[in-house]
Amino acid sequence: MSMIRWIAGGAIALAVCVVVALAGQERPTTPMSNAGEPAMFQDPAVPLIALPTTFASRREKKEVRLDNKGFAEVANINGPGCIRHVWFLTVNNQDKLTLEITVDGAEEPQVRAPLSSFFGVMQDREPYFVDCAAFAVFPNPEASKKDALIPGTPGYNLFLPIPFSKSCRILVRGNEGAFLGTVVDWHRYEAHTPLTSYRLHAEHKRFATTPPRGGTIEMAKVTGNGFLAGFVTGYMQKNKSDMVFHTGGIMILLDEETDPYTIEGNNVEDDYGFTWGFNDHQTRWIGCPSHQNRGRNDQDGVFYRFFGPDPIAFRSSMTFLAGSRGDDMETVVYYYKKCSR
């Protein structure tokens, strides 16, 4: 009987040890709300951004005309919250409008870029259809053909999330009198709701003539902790001695690495997942929304690449370069960087 008690006691002690050991292990868990539902969800356009599932839906709607200083405020919102969708309607494609987004009272806007370029309409081209995870552009030229009073200008739709803990201010600058219709859809969170520390940034560059073949351009140079969300590049061929794609591709240096390149490309179309030049197709993550082919060595076009399923992370810095060959190039790089709490 004593032997049985000894064995049973040992078994109980072992079971207790196992339970304690398991309880002490780090196990991946999903935060749960009081209702038993997941407290966070992954943003579909930028899955690395996790957002609260408990929120109040809000909308800011304005029709604005730029004042005599060439300025209009689209939204000025107090947080915590997250911009989920922004819509712009312009009535004149010739208006040179600049978009600025400033989050949490930053000294400089985290986003400052020509409005059309920010939405992938590059190098002052006539607006064209764009449909990707980050944004969508819907021009309506058929309407203007049928009715001279309808400009047929596009609706610009942004889906990149813009989280903010204190405030978010959206401005448009440009010609006095320029008119915009705007809608900003956002989620408002209760005070002290846990919120990601990532903040949206965009870096815009325009190179009227890039260095000759063998050179590079710097598309973005970032310090801090974050990840690359995507980029758009417009090409207008000036050097007609060879195909516009033969640049050597992109080069991304991460966390002060210099040689070899951490992320090294091939040639232009290869870096965007295409082959044999421009290809008039668009998907959520990869696309070519505009292409003009006047001959083998005379082509213009626009590519986008977003990294929803495969983001590129950096812990201290990112330098984003691209090969050049003496052409006209315009670029926008979209990234998220952690803010200091």
- The pLDDT value recorded for residue 204 is 98
Pick the last residue of a domain from 196, 225, 254. 196
The better pLDDT of the pair 203, 146 is held by 203
116 and 139 fall within a common domain? yes
- The pLDDT value recorded for residue 336 is 98
**Residue 171 falls within a domain, yes or no?**
yes
What is each CA distance from 51 to 42, 94, 168, 193, 229, in whole angstroms?
6, 37, 16, 10, 16
Whether pLDDT at 160 is above 50: yes
266 and 162 fall within a common domain? no
Residue 321 pLDDT class (50, 70, 90 cuts): very high
Q: Residue 173 sits in which domain range? A: 33-196
- The pLDDT value recorded for residue 21 is 41
**Residue 6 falls within a domain, yes or no?**
no
Where residue 177 sits, what CATH number does that domain have?
2.60.120.1390
Whether pLDDT at 58 is above 50: yes
Structure tokens given for 57: 């839906």
**Residue 70 falls within a domain, yes or no?**
yes
141 and 247 fall within a common domain? no
202 and 320 fall within a common domain? yes
How would you label 191-211 residue by residue, b for 16+ Cβ within 10 Å and e otherwise? eebebbebbbbbbbbbbeebe
The count of domains in the chain is 2
Pick the last residue of a domain from 196, 217, 234. 196
**Residue 84 falls within a domain, yes or no?**
yes
172-185 pLDDT, tens digit per residue, is 999 999 999 999 99
Q: How far apart are CA 14 and CA 164, in angstroms?
A: 49
178 and 230 fall within a common domain? no
Whether pLDDT at 293 is above 80: yes
**Residue 58 falls within a domain, yes or no?**
yes
169 and 298 fall within a common domain? no
DSSP codes, 16-80:
HHHHHHHHHS------B-TTSSBSEEE-SSSTT-EEES--EEEEEEEEEE--TTSEEEEEEEESS
CA 129 centroid distance within chain: 18
Q: Tell me phi and psi for residue 118, to 5 degrees.
A: -60, -30
**Residue 94 falls within a domain, yes or no?**
yes
**Residue 286 falls within a domain, yes or no?**
yes
- The pLDDT value recorded for residue 261 is 67
Pick the last residue of a domain from 146, 168, 196. 196
316 and 184 fall within a common domain? no
Coil/strand/helix, residue 14? helix
185 and 260 fall within a common domain? no
223 and 176 fall within a common domain? no
339 and 316 fall within a common domain? yes
- The pLDDT value recorded for residue 257 is 81
- CA quadruple 326, 128, 287, 42: dihedral positive or negative? positive
Q: How far apart are CA 134 and CA 172, in angstroms?
A: 20
Q: How far apart are CA 86 and CA 74, in angstroms?
A: 10
Residue 28 pLDDT class (50, 70, 90 cuts): very low
146 and 50 fall within a common domain? yes
191 and 205 fall within a common domain? no
192-246 pLDDT, tens digit per residue, is 999 999 999 999 999 999 999 989 999 999 999 999 999 999 999 999 999 999 9
Helix (DSSP H) and strand (DSSP E) numbers for the chain: 4, 23
**Residue 8 falls within a domain, yes or no?**
no
